[in-house]
Structure 1
Amino acid sequence: MKLTNTSMNKFALPCAIALLSCAAYSGLFSMPLWIGGVIDSYDISSTLAGYMGSTQLFASVIAALLAASRIDKFGLTHVIASGLAVIVAANFISATTDNTILLFAGRGISGFGEGLLLASLNNAISRTDTPDKYFAISQTSIALFGILLFAATPHSITQFGVSGVFIMVVITASIGFLALLIFNFSSIEAIKCAIAPTAVNTKRYLLPLLSLGVLFIGCQGAWAYMERMGVEKSLSIQEISFFLIIGQLLSLAAPFSATRFAAKFGRKMSITMGLIISGSAVLLASQKIANESFFVAAGIFQFGTLFIVTSFYGFLAAIDSTGSSVTAAPAYLSFGSALGPAAMAGILRVEGYPELGFVIIVIYIIAVALLYAFSFDDNYVTSSK
């Protein structure tokens, strides 16, 4: 049984998904901004800042795994509310402290809240009859949020320092509570999904989930240091933010473009196309070529990322009708994302950004190999109508 597009949820559910998506991904999207900010404000190394980002993402992994096995017990509404509350509290701590240890703790707590919210959001979407559509709505909402975030960041950082970034996350998560008023999530809690993957499911869907995790080692590793790559090319924070905004504008077209591309060529090819776009952006940003290359990189990187995520979530929802793999997906995504900044920080201790770029490309190739090693029925290839 799936949630259908009745008149009651025709507008309420998309609006709720949009609000929760912005809150769930606020920490992830703001990471390159606050990583650069804490390096400057706290006078810490790029390596330590990268480990701080990884702390946030590892906490997200733990929370997503816990949520995936407990949503039926506690209910979607309670898990969503808990995730939002934790994000608000953690980022308030991060915005008001000048202690590095407390900042570390704040990032970890924020990640835990994000993991709860991501898992419950994916779980809710997997219960609908058109998950591709709602994943596209989710990713488009995130792109819009990114535009607002990068537009407001230069002024916010000027006024409040790095605390301004955390304050914006607090505001975003607080607004997210409106989703619980707009849509009654208890109405879909009766629609059962196999939240905890069985041993059979875990084995069957392990390769695509591992592919997603490996993919985001590279993807989040690149995103965490995207701002620093721009600085390395002698660009100002205003220039970097401007072109990241352009990238967010372009990425608005990515989710529904991915859905259309998958319908014609299949989800695996759609994921691969997203990786090609993302990989091109990484090389343009990281290599010692014309400074203008960063503008192109910033313009297409987020497009590629949202193209990948929309395609991958739709792929998982299609191959596993129980919803277990797509509910567990945030844990794998977050685990890969957590390893990304830490791994790239380790590389930057001995190498530069050009070498980092090539490492990310190798990671992408490994992710594609894992994806294509997974075999599935032909009727899973095309996108949901």
Structure 2
Amino acid sequence: MNTHNERAERWPGRIALMVAHCAGMVDLVALPVWVGALIAGYGLDPQRAGALATLFLLGAVISSMVCAPRFPRLRTGMVAVAGFTVAALAFFGVSLTTDYAVMAVLHAVAGAAAGAALSMTHGTIGRCRSPHRMFAMAGMALGVFAIVFLGLMPGLIASLGGPVLFRVFAGVMLVAAVVAALAFPSALVEKTVRALAAAPIAPAVWFAGFGIGCMGLVQAMMFSFLERIGADRGFAPGAVTGVLIALGFVNLLPAPLAALLERRWPAHLVVLGGPVVQAALALTIATSSGYAAYAFAGALFAAVMIFTHTFAFGLVAQLDTGGRALSATPAMLMMGAAIGPVLGGTLVKSAGYGALGAAAVAIGCVAVFCFARAGRRPAAVLS
């Protein structure tokens, strides 16, 4: 039985999936600049700025939850094109207004549209011959995108103002829509795969999903304020931007490293270590007063998420040949990430940056528990 999408194995299809992954996962790269621009460029307090990013992520969660169960019946390419197009229009609309209510609605619309497109992307990646490797390739593309984005955006925002961020977001989504229209590997799912998709999802998948969500929560909570923490501790703007650029270069490493180690490191053990390292780095960023510790932890922070998520994606793929659960990975990841910016903003507003580190440690413990439960599966599944 062939359950794989052959078009996704060809380079045009691979490139389309990589571009779509970069656009759909833009929050993983952009959150510190995003929240920072809303605070510095629009005069919002941390809580209100974080709430806008949360609305984007919440929209992505809801649309992913709606689309994922229907993945085997959808024309994935059409959904991807429509989703990125609507997201582009919504972000362009954000750049034209300073009304908070309008910005909030447009953030939610952009998130819902991009989340639907990302669900199609991840579900399609899940039907490749090697989902782990294809997801790693998408992660490498995201690393390259991060270097360009984080290298250029702080200077552009400083010189042109906050709205330029949302025009760039609109451009990224528009490029993804065009590439998806030209080459997205949209193929109808075979009847045998539809039958597989109708089967109940294993409990291990749900635990893995909650673990990914917890890591996404820590990622978004800390990453949203990485730039602000550096600025408020008196580090020079160029020094803070240097950390963001270094972060982009470091992000090139975890995806190819995850691909190289796919058959050498057991996925169920890697996902146990990921939350521990993530929490340690978050605590360092939140509590350190020296630039060296801040820069080291900040440069590595997102890489831990990318590396661990690649292994988690491959772990879930072993239980989901139909792509349904993997189509829900935006919901898994962004359910936590949606809470992150507003939770982080609330903690910072009420108790300072140190509270972010304590929260990261507590959430990391929950993630370890979830991944430990996800690893309790028959040996045949782990092979």
The alpha-carbon deviation at position 306 of structure 1 amounts to 0.7
| Counterpart amino acid of residue 381 in structure 1 | L
Give the Cα separation in 2 of the matches to 1:176 and 1:315: 27
Which residue in 1 is equivalent to 2:119? 119
Contact 1:215 1:367 in 2 (8 A): yes
Deviations 1:130-173 (A, max 9, x none): 11111001111111111111111122102321112112111111
Give the Cα separation in 2 of the matches to 1:245 and 1:174: 24
Structure 1 position 250 matched with structure 2 position 250: yes
Tell me the secondary structure at the aligned position of residue 274 of structure 2: helix
Give the Cα separation in 2 of the matches to 1:195 and 1:127: 15
Cα gap change, 1:310 to 1:272, in 2 (>3 Å): same
Q: Is there any run of 5+ residues in structure 1 with no aligned partner, and where?
A: none
Which residue in 1 is equivalent to 2:33? 33
The alpha-carbon deviation at position 200 of structure 1 amounts to 3.0
Contact 2:28 2:302 in 1 (8 A): no
Larger displacement relative to structure 2 (341-350 or 36-45): 341-350
Structure 1 position 322 matched with structure 2 position 322: yes
Which residue in 2 is equivalent to 1:50? 50
| Counterpart amino acid of residue 351 in structure 1 | A
Larger displacement relative to structure 2 (258-267 or 94-103): 258-267
Which residue in 2 is equivalent to 1:19? 19
Give the Cα separation in 1 of the matches to 2:252 and 2:232: 27
Tell me the secondary structure at the aligned position of residue 201 of structure 2: helix
Which residue in 2 is equivalent to 1:71? 71
Larger displacement relative to structure 2 (74-83 or 183-192): 183-192
The alpha-carbon deviation at position 198 of structure 1 amounts to 5.3
Flag as ranges the 4+ runs of structure 1 deviating above 6 A.
Answer: none
Cα gap change, 1:253 to 1:204, in 2 (>3 Å): closer
Contact 2:210 2:370 in 1 (8 A): yes
Contact 2:71 2:327 in 1 (8 A): no
User: Which is bigger in relative contact order (C-alpha 8 A, separation at least 6)?
Assistant: 2
The alpha-carbon deviation at position 82 of structure 1 amounts to 1.3
Cα gap change, 1:194 to 1:146, in 2 (>3 Å): farther
The alpha-carbon deviation at position 241 of structure 1 amounts to 2.1
Number of residue pairs aligned between Structure 1 and Structure 2: 381
The alpha-carbon deviation at position 197 of structure 1 amounts to 6.3
Give the Cα separation in 2 of the matches to 1:255 and 1:45: 35
Cα gap change, 1:236 to 1:167, in 2 (>3 Å): farther
Contact 1:210 1:370 in 2 (8 A): yes
Which residue in 2 is equivalent to 1:313? 313
| Counterpart amino acid of residue 381 in structure 2 | Y
The alpha-carbon deviation at position 195 of structure 1 amounts to 9.8
Give the Cα separation in 2 of the matches to 1:102 and 1:182: 32
The alpha-carbon deviation at position 208 of structure 1 amounts to 1.5
Contact 2:64 2:331 in 1 (8 A): yes
Give the Cα separation in 2 of the matches to 1:257 and 1:66: 33
Cα gap change, 1:251 to 1:381, in 2 (>3 Å): farther
Cα gap change, 1:295 to 1:342, in 2 (>3 Å): same
Cα gap change, 1:180 to 1:341, in 2 (>3 Å): closer
Cα gap change, 1:268 to 1:9, in 2 (>3 Å): closer
Structure 1 position 148 matched with structure 2 position 159: no
The alpha-carbon deviation at position 323 of structure 1 amounts to 2.4
Which residue in 2 is equivalent to 1:85? 85
Deviations 1:267-311 (A, max 9, x none): 122223333432232122111331221110222112111102111
Q: Structure 2 matches for 1:93-172, cutoff 5 A?
A: 93-172=93-172
The alpha-carbon deviation at position 112 of structure 1 amounts to 0.8
Give the Cα separation in 1 of the matches to 2:79 and 2:5: 23
Give the Cα separation in 1 of the matches to 2:194 and 2:365: 31
Contact 1:136 1:259 in 2 (8 A): yes
Give the Cα separation in 1 of the matches to 2:71 and 2:89: 22
Contact 1:288 1:354 in 2 (8 A): no
The alpha-carbon deviation at position 190 of structure 1 amounts to 4.4
Which residue in 1 is equivalent to 2:224? 224
Give the Cα separation in 2 of the matches to 1:218 and 1:199: 32
Q: Is there any run of 5+ residues in structure 2 with no aligned partner, and where?
A: none
Structure 1 position 295 matched with structure 2 position 291: no
Cα gap change, 1:86 to 1:65, in 2 (>3 Å): same
| Counterpart amino acid of residue 224 in structure 1 | S
Contact 1:246 1:299 in 2 (8 A): yes
Give the Cα separation in 1 of the matches to 2:196 and 2:233: 46
| Counterpart amino acid of residue 379 in structure 2 | D
The alpha-carbon deviation at position 42 of structure 1 amounts to 2.1
RMSD (CA atoms): 2.3
For normalisation by structure 2, the TM-score amounts to 0.92
| Counterpart amino acid of residue 39 in structure 1 | I
For normalisation by structure 1, the TM-score amounts to 0.92
Give the Cα separation in 2 of the matches to 1:281 and 1:32: 16
| Counterpart amino acid of residue 298 in structure 2 | A
Structure 1 position 342 matched with structure 2 position 355: no
Tell me the secondary structure at the aligned position of residue 290 of structure 2: coil
